[in-house]
Amino acid sequence: MCSVIDCTKTRRTKLSPYCDKHYFRFRRNGDPMIRSTKDLLGPPICSQCGRKKTRKIRGTTWQCKPCWNRIRREENAAKPVRSRAVAVRRRCEHYGIPVELWVKLQSRGCMICGRKAGLIQNQLHFDHDHITGEVRGLLCNQCNRGIGYLRDDPELIMKAYKYLTEPRVLV
């Protein structure tokens, strides 16, 4: 019989003091009475505010969703915020272009369709040759993706142009 009180199952082996169920609990948790590691952590009470309903767990402590969100906000507030000007300056340094030229090109708009840059949407992107790294100009997102999807291949772009301009009849 299993050596756990009120367990009437037979032992796993002659040498084992526990049945299969209690043996595996003992192997997993170090105690044949503990069902899971959640029992080791105690009841799900928030370590910050003491609420019983919890959603998230950080390490070995429970935290409710509002406390989890508050701690996340505090952690994110401590991180440095990169401004748009810093991002533009770094991008210009990466491509070797003065910021003044970037501002001038932004005012012209997309080199293909002429779309002007917006404050948040429709930002213009550096278009560069992937082999030489030379910047060709600034393009809107759609034109930049279109060239990318056509693999920067002039022949494919000409085929796409012919496809769009020449009428075809499906056979």
Distance of alpha carbon 31 from alpha carbon 140, whole angstroms = 63
In our burial notation (b when 16+ CB lie closer than 10 A, e otherwise), range 5-42 reads: eeeeeebbeeeeebbeebbebbeeeeebeeeeeeeeee
Banded model confidence at residue 158, pLDDT cuts 50, 70, 90: very high
| Domain residue spans of the chain | 1-36, 97-165
- Domain with residues 97-165, CATH architecture: 3-Layer(aba) Sandwich (3.40)
Q: Report which of 97, 95, 109 is spatially closest to residue 142, judged by C-alpha positions.
A: 109
**What is the predicted pLDDT for the residue at 37?**
60
122-144 tens-digit pLDDT: 678 899 888 888 899 999 988 99
Q: Are 25 and 31 in contact (CB under 8 A)?
A: yes
**What is the predicted pLDDT for the residue at 47?**
78
Distance of alpha carbon 99 from alpha carbon 86, whole angstroms = 11
Helix and strand totals (H; E) in the chain = 7, 4
17-27 tens-digit pLDDT: 888 888 888 88
- The SS3 of residue 147 is helix
Could you tell me the two tokens for 23?
A: 């043996």
- The SS3 of residue 106 is helix
Average per-residue pLDDT for the chain: 82
